[in-house]
Structure formats: C-alpha cells, structure tokens
Structure 1
Amino acid sequence: MKPMLPSLTFELPIHSDWYYEVKYDGFRAILDWNTQGMELTSRNGKPLLPQFPEIKEFLLTYKEEFKPFLPLRLDGELVFLENPYKGIFSTIQVRGRLKSGKKISEQASKSPCHLMVFDLLIISGNPLYSFNFHKRKKELLKLFQKIGLGTEVEPHEHQLLQLVEAYSDFNDLWEKVVLYDGEGIVAKYKNSPWEEGKRSTQWLKYKNWKYVSCFVTSYDKTNGYFYLGVYNNKKIHPIGQVLFGFKPEEKQALQQTIKQNLQREDSQFIYVLPAICLEVKYLELYENQLREPHFDRFRFDLEPSECTYERFIFQQKNLPENLDITHPDKPLWEKLNIKKADYILYLREASPYILPFLKNRLLTVIRYPHGMFGEAFYQKNCPDYAPEYVQTRNIEGIDYIVCNDLKTLIWLGNQLAIEFHVPFQTINSIGPSEIVFDLDPPSKDAFHLAIKAALLIKEVLDQLQLIGFIKTSGNKGLQIYLPLPENTYSYDDTRLFTGFIAEYLISKDPDSFTIERLKKNRGNRLYVDYVQHGEGKTIVAPYSMRGNERAGVATPLFWEEVDEKLESVSFNLENVLHRIRKSGDPFHHYFQTKQIQPFTPVLEFLKQKKG
C-alpha cells in the first residue's frame, strides 16, 4: 500500500493542536504481520526484509507477546541510527544495495538497522485509519508497553523496533534535532486521519537545512540545472548542482546573466568563470554531492574567493550563525596535526554529550591562546568583550560564564578554551548534584593504581546497589560519578560517604592508597582526595579536552572496559567521536539515574555508624 506523506514547508510549523516527531533519514517502511507471516514494504512497494533480516529476527524473539495483536500493521522509517535524533542516510543506502547474502548477514549482525515506528494502522485485525493521529499514537504507546518494549530511542541497544515520540512543544524537539544534527521534524495535526497515498497538508515536514556559500560554474541547457563550486587551494572544487527553490524571475535573471557572461559553450553546457555567488540549502553531502539542494538567496555581498571549501566544511557542520571562527588554520599541538578548525569541529560534534554537564554550572575554563606552544591561564570571570548571548551568573564578585547552548560553547572554543571545569552542583542546587571520586595516581606509570581503586569502589557500589559511572580524567587518572537527586543532600552528607570509601580503600590495600595530604609523605601511593569533593571545588567535565601533549579527552567508559588492559592514553580528540558513534555514550542514562539512586539508606547507615 502507498503510505501517507507529509508536505514540505519552509515556514515554522508551530500551531495549536499539532504534535512534532523526529524526521529520520532512511527508507519509509510499512510492517504487516499476520498469522501467515511478516512483510516489510518500502514506499515503492519493494520487500525490505531480504535486505534487512535483523528486523524479522528481532520481532520473532517477541513472537508470543505480539500474537494477541495480530494481524498488525505499523508505519515507520527504516534507519541506521547515529544518535536518538539522526539516521545516517549513506549507511542505509549501502545496505539497500547489497546483493550478497553473506554480506547482508554480516552487516545485519555487525551494524543492525532500526525500524522507527510512528503510527499504528491495524491492531488485532482492527483498522485504525479513521482514528485521529493523537488516538493512534496513544494506542501505539500502549502496544509497546504491553509487549514489554522500551519507549525511549536507544541507538546502541538490541531493541530494533523503536517508538518515535510525539512532542507537544516544537522548540523543545527542534533544539535536540539541531544539536544532534538530525534531518528535521514532521509536524502532525492532532485530529488527522491516516490517508493512503496522500501527500497531506495535515502532516508537514520541516527540515534542518545546512547552508553553503558557493558560486555558479555552469548551466545545463538540457535540464536547467546550475552547477556549483567552491575554491579549494585556489582550484575549483565541484559540490553538486541546484534546480529547485528559485522564483521564476530569479531563475530567469540567473540564466540571462550566465548567457551574457559565458566563457565557453558546448551542446549541453554554458560555462562561466566564478562570479555569481549563491547561498544554497541542502540536507547533507552524499557521495560528494549536495542532497536535496534548494536555492536560498543570491550573495551579492560575497566575492567568489570567499566561497572556500574550508568555509563549506564549517557551514556543513551547522555551526551557529553570525559566529566567525578566527584563524582556523592555527596549529594547536606540537606533535599532532590538530588545527583550531579541528578543535572547533570536535566541540560541535561532541556538544550533545558535553552540554548537559555544563548546563547551569559556574564554568571555569583553561585557555590556551597559543595552543600547546605557549602559556595557559585559568579564566573564571567572563571577559568584557563577550557577546550578549553569553549568559553569566555573578557569585561573590566573579562573573562566571554559564554555558547552556551550542553558540556559547563554540564561542569559548574560538577563544581556545580547551579545558572545561565545573562544580559539583548547578546554580539552582542547594547541596551537591553528584558525588565524584577523583582517583589521581602519583604518575602516569602508576595508572594501574587508579584501575585497582576503581574496581574496589565498584565492588562496594554493587553491594550497596548504588549506580556509578566512570570516566578517564584525560590525564593520568580515573573519576567515578554517583548522580544524586537535586536539593536532597548536603556536602557533609556526601563527605560521610567519600570518607567511608577512602577508609575502605586504605584498609584493603594500605600500600597502594593514602589520604596523606603532604605529597612528600605519599610515596608511590594513590592519594584518595575525598576532601576535594566540596562546595566551590571543580572537576573536569565529561568529553572536555585536556591541555596535554596527546590531546587527551576526559572520556566516559563502560565499566567492562575498566581492567588491567585499560590505558590512560587511549582516548583523544582523534578517536573519541568515532567511539561514541560505534558504541554509544556510556553516560547516556546519567541524568535519569538521579531519581532512582538509592543513596538515602546508605547515608542513614553511615550516620548511625558515626553516632
């Protein structure tokens, strides 16, 4: 059957009685499952299960749970998830072209795709097409709950059937889509029925366009396409072509200008020298071509020489508007080929994972204005030249920066703030928002002591049923986090626990651990600094870089990675993002854990013990 389709809109689709869903970039797919079997059909009527057998395999593991709801029809999008808000189009395209059964099987096992379900059309043989969207969505949620499937999008979990949530607040979802570089949003009218084969104005797709400043290189007389390029090392670098988005008078004016200024002409093309600059919006770069390009506007304010490949790459990453990156070619590390542009792009890619830990915290940064080639300095006070959008909070005469958004993060990166340090509480908290153990060995050669301490602490946490997260410091140590509910405990409370853990470590291995404050008396033992966890103290934020020679990153770990094979030098700017894309973010559930952390019984026991 032909699916219902949304209409493209360039206007913000914010209306009362509308809902908003993530638009995933993949293959539209309708799942039919009845007692005779299962089919997954593309928008063009092609069977998808032979190419994506992992979907069927997963569904059959829930065969008994689904049985009462058959015949069943679900509407969704088949995608390869990069993160909860983005599918990777190029990956699903490659999967769709595979012919070898062996390769299909390998990819299904190694890199499984997900069926993102957003509509319920038939359940237990009963059609729901005439039900309004809101009611169908409620029934879909109930189905997931009855089957026992999770309802949050989890790219790295084995659950290959996932629910697409409907948001009532456009801005809430849009902020996430932009941050995670998703394709866009589909807005749906609350009372819309499901209409087969119709491109409806009751469903609207609003895309997260990227923009490129480029120039016209030629005009194809056979189909009306304008070919585009940018300069890369003074040579013209082709980036694709554009046909749509022009008003009739704009297209006519452009054609006329090209004809009047032709450099040469053949049977198909009119060629021109770079002179006419355009701004073109597109979804992504796919096989070195712009996907879904649309003309946006003429750029009479630009010279062709300003339309560079470097600028194109920055624009492709959806950096905030009106934020100039100065000296992008500036080298930052002596022994590594890392330029300022690389660091800015790292911050952009890592922003969904960094920003939650900076949000509403008084920020201390360490700036390296000359990279690793010069002196660094701590900065707490917001400088006078900071732009208006940078939020601050004045505490005891210090005007701290509060980094709650991407624009502020990238601005700080442009200032070459390399390290981001935050306190253990937010500006709205009374008392700590978490407990953190900083396991800092006496030297990088003694990293095994941090591993030993971390594993001993994990044993205690498991026995007490406490939930801990672990990350590298980015230098030579490890740091363990226990998220806590806000405004519930004091630093005196948490110090009871950190002191208890310190004493436990020393009792287990006094030759490896110490609470001795004086360095000269520590020897080669790891100092357990439980006093460091206090008001006004700070810790390096997850995914912050460090100003060391290897471009280290304070990297969240999975607990199963913490063993004698772990090395303190493993994670840096060059591999951390690949690690997230491949395995996910180990701190993904950090904030959900705050409300279920069973710390109160432990604290009551420690108070009784002390008393």
Structure 2
Amino acid sequence: MPDRLDSYRAKRDPGRTPEPFGPAEDGARAPDAPRLFVVQKHAARRLHWDFRLELGGTLRSWAVPKGPSADPADKRMAVEVEDHPVEYAGFEGTIPTGNYGAGAVIVWDRGVWRPVGVPYDGLARGKLVFQLSGYKLHGEWTLVRTRVAQGGKQQWLLLKHRGDAWAGPGREFAQESVLSGRLLEELAAGEGRAERAVREAERLGAPRRALSRADARPMRATPRGKPLRGEGEGWLFEVKYDGYRLVARREGTRATLLTQRGEDATALYPEIARPLEALPVDAIVDGEVVVLGPDGRPDLAALEARARLARPRDVARAALERPATFFVFDLLALGGLDVRALPLAERKRLLASVVPQLGPVRYAEHVEGRGEELRREVSARGLAGIVAKRADAPYRAGRSAAWLDIPAARSAAEARAPHDASPPVPHPARPARRVEVTNGEKVWFPADGITKGDVVAYYRAIAPFMLPYLKDRPLVLTRYPEGIDGKSFFQKDAPTWRPEWLRTVRIRGEDAGRELDHFLVDDADGLAWIANLGTIPLHVWSSRAGALERPDWCVVDLDPKDAPFEHVVRIARALHALCDELGLPSYPKTTGQKGLHVLVPLGGQLTHAQSRTLGELLARAIEAELPEIATTARALSARGGRVYLDFLQNGFGKTIAAPYAVRPKPGAPVSTPLRWSEVTARLDPSRFTLRNVPGRARRLRADPLSPVLTGKPDLMAALERLRGRMAGGNGGARRRAQRDGRTAE
C-alpha cells in the first residue's frame, strides 16, 4: 500500500536538507476533533504561503501564491501539493540551494482547525469547510476545488467566510514568524534584529558571563495596595497576567523552563519550549505562562488543569487544544552576555528584538508613566492588576521595592501576586521516602479489628486515586491518637518538626487570628506520613494554593440526620435532574456517613461567595420542589425530620471530606465517588469501606468524580435559567421559609 509521504520523500534527500522525514501515522480521529494547521511563508523560486491541514497522519498541503486574505471578496488560488510529515509544522529554516523548494521558510501562523462535517467527504466533493483558531487566522474558511492545473495538480480557491468577527477588507496580518519572531527576509539574509541586539548589549557594557541557575533566580515584586502618586514618571507599567512564573533558557537548540523554585517545567509546555528553541540567539528570559480563554483573558483554571497533566499524550493534546502562552517581560542574558546590570528600559528594548510579538512566546508590552490609566483599563477588563517597575533598575534576584505589585481597582483578596506563583510540576519517579509506621498494631476500629497500620496501608493503596483531589489543596486533619473511641482534635497548622519534603501553604486563619501552615500532599509518602500522625479523615478545600479565592466545585451536602436514606436518594436524583435542566454537570459521592455530596464543577470561574450563592439557589429550588422531605433550615428543631440541604460548606476556608477519605465510624466507611446509575433505592453507603474501596477503584474504568476537577460549564447561562425558575415559585418558597422560622432572601 503506497505511503502518502512517498511523493514528499522522492523529491528530497535527507542528507542535503534539514526538512523532517517523519513517517505517516494512523491519524484517525473523531470527525469534529481539532487538528493541527500551519501556514509557512516560503521564499522559494517564487514567494508563496504553504497552507497545511493535519489529516490522517500527514499534512495536506496547498501552495497559496498571494497568501490568505481576511476579505471574503478575495478568492486566493491554492494549488494542491504533496502531503508533508506532521513534524513539518515546526520546521523553520533554510532549504539549501540545489534542493527542491530551496529558500527560507518561517512558521507564519499555527493553531488548530476543526472540519465542518466529515473532512474526507469534503475533499472528495471538492468543498472543504473548516474553522481555524490560530495566532493570525481565525473563523470559518473554505477550500473549493476548481480544476486540474498544469502538471496534474489540483487547483483550489481559499475563501474567508463572511459574517464572523475576523472577516473584512483591509485587515493586515503581521509578517513575523510566530515561532522565532523573525521576518522571512532576516532569515534569508542570515542576520536580523536579534543578532544586532547582541552587539548592542556588548556596546552597553554587558560582560560575557555564563549564568548558572543560582544566578538566574527571579526578581520579585513587592505588594502595594494603592497606585503610585502622580503619573509614575520614571516607572514602566505592565499588565499583571495572573499566571505561573517561569525563567526560560535557550542554549543552542535546547530550551529549559524553570519555576521560581528551580523545578524543571519544560515537559509541561512543549508548545513554549519549541519557539524558545527557534529563537535566533541564546538567551535567558523571565516571564509568566498563562492559558488564554476565548475572550483573550488569562484562564487560571485552564492553566491549573494543564499543570496537573502528567502523561505525555495528555500534555501533547492539551498543547494543541488549549495552548499556553508565555509572556516574556525581562531579559537576564543575551548571546552569552550578562545583561542583568543594565537598566530595565534597556533590557526591555533588547528583549523586544529577540522574542516574537505574537505567538506562544511573546513580548510583554508596557507603558511609560500613565500607571493609573493602565490600572483603570485592566480593572475595566476584569484583569488582576498591574506591575510597576523602575525604568532604571537592574535585575536583582529576590523581592525588590523596584518592582511593585498593584492590584486592580477591586478587592485585593481577588488578585494574585503576578510573579510569585509556580506551576505544580510533576516530579520524576524516585525511591519512596522513609515513612515509619509507629504503633501500627494499635487498634483504631475496635469492632472491626482495624489497626493504625491498616489505615496507613489503605491510604498508600488508594493514593493513585485520591491524590488528584488533594494536590495543591490545603488540608484539615482530624486526629484520633487512640482510635475512633478516643478523644480527637482538628489540626490545620502543620508542626514545625514535619519533614522538609512535605509542602505547606501559609494562610491567615480568621479564627486563629494568625497565619497557619496548611499541609499540601503531593504523593503517597506524604499521605502515609499524615496518616501516621493519627489522622483518620482528611478534609480538603475546594480551591488550590495559588488560587485560594477561586473554588473548583460547589457542593450541596444532603444530611439526613434521622430522615430515611431513600429521601436522600430521591433528593439527590432531583438535584441531578435540576442540574441537567440548567446545563450543569453534577457528580455524587458518599460522605462516608449517612448522607451524600453532590458536586458541581466551577472551573475557577466564581468566588467562594458566588459559589455559596449558587449552592443556595440549587438547594432552595429543590426545597421548593420537594418540601415534604427537603429543607434548608439549619436548626435541628426546624427540620421536622426532613433532609437538610447544606450549602454553607461553600466558602473561603470551608472543607468537605476528601474523596476516598476514611471516616471514624464502625466499619471504617469511606467517602466514595459514585456513578449516578448507583444512586438508587438499593444504595447503601456503609458498603464502601477501607477494605473494599481500593479494589473498587481499580475495577472502575474511570473515576466517576474526576471531571469535577477540570469541568468548566457555562455558569452564567445556568444561573440565569435558575433565577428564572426560582422567580416562578418564589411565593411558595417564602411561605415555607416563614413556616421554618426563617426569612426568605
């Protein structure tokens, strides 16, 4: 069977050209799945743009002499040429004279495309309709076959659809590469702005010195609650991106991304590493990585979801579908020169000549003076704030008053520090740390003969399933040193004698009146060490360190107290039906006691107060629907034997029993994720115990609760539907509230 790359390879000699020769792959995907597209500007015998769409394991390719146009009136000729390897999408360089297609090539644009309909059918019929999401090209396009040109090549027209936001005459595209920032003419000439910037840095007196990792530690901003006085003369102002801080090195053909803690995050962001490798000169740069949402604003929940990925296949898919962007705002080294002592204004000027203005790695713009004007603008756009930097300041590691973190004109609690957050980097496999189980034979569950050693062993066994719910979340421990029949106590503050490898996050405790170091558990060793403290249940926050103000889920706790469990099931299914009606996904788990938790993913889109409001609206809607068995009355005397719908566990610092946590009850029940098909009259939460839950978790093909960690539903639309639904039955709700001794809000 002929290979679709036979024609490509027949025209090229791998010993004479740097072009890739990758094999064709089995690229079967769902008809509407996103695929890679690339447009390469090519100075061959005639200048043209190569338009390429990934399909079936290769890049289907067309040569477009005049390049794409955003004007629907322009019908750009596109001549079909041989398929190219998928690896060609990252090719940028010069094809030597004497080879097929000799000349300079840059990656002019790159992104994903989605076919409208079945793409193979469209190609066969001669009309392929598709959507592009790139750095320059967006919206809906069509390739229409017209005739067979000379030499037997199929001739098509590339057309931009009318009626979308990216269509219209007079729209000009930037001509730089979205990988290297080079112009095609610079690549062809062999020297460009970056090379000239190196000579300029040398002229300014930058010494030739190799910087170690210790030398390249990041400079950090000092928080400031109010803007500078006046216009900020002598200061540069940048947007606060609300992302993760990275210092990136380009050395030869290798790029390395390091967090501010010095951890290697290169594997997390291949779409950033590749453009850094393509830079024309060696450099060390400082910036923030974000994932931009459809509105062009940083999407913190999407960034955190990216940082949690570990499998290379998942990372590669995310890099294509939700690519990260690295906004570069400072320069530490250039072409082997140490530029840290140069004034910031000079470093920024050099930096602008080195990194692209558009693409996955891009220059972070700034304004001189006018800081308050920029602050008002970012506030209006819902961004986190600004960073003020002295224009004459050198780059010095550590926190500095020469950089000021100024939040947007809203509550300071809603803004994160711009340069102090690091992505949670998956660590490579390492030998297990020494975690000794002390007094492992002590019986903690007397009626069942379950010992402390059994509990520690359980947490080690369940760790692969439990850790995704614990990662980067502050924990609250409940310790039972003598077992479930002995005294217990809560513990939020990690002891000073903890192992140095156990991470913590410092949070001000309003009840304690001081800052507390909450445990963060990353691995099975940490989980075992905490269990060995005498911990039986673990409670987790709904938000993560680095985004404490943005919860990942909203929970409604169905607490039956003395009500029959069949009422809990009926209410849970009614809540599930309501969420479906509103367009909200919902996921159940047992609490490990008598009730159920129903969780709705938020994707970091709401504050804790807004999450509590959502929970209250859902609870009151169910109360209005099932008043005989459901209530939102908190006082036991007002419940009247009904199931309590508790929405108050949504709030800053509020916790729930972690999925897979053991509860201190006879039988060692476990808070267990459920499938909705299991929430029936036959459900018995006490059946899920320390003894059988690890086996259950292994048998299930997928954790039924895990989508709550990454889901991002359209909450605004759901809230509007819910408010409308509530408005229709508000009178009945008010009467029931008065009956329960409450005032309807």
Q: When you count helix as a share of all residues, which structure comes out higher?
A: 1
Which of structures 1 and 2 has the bigger CA Rg? 2
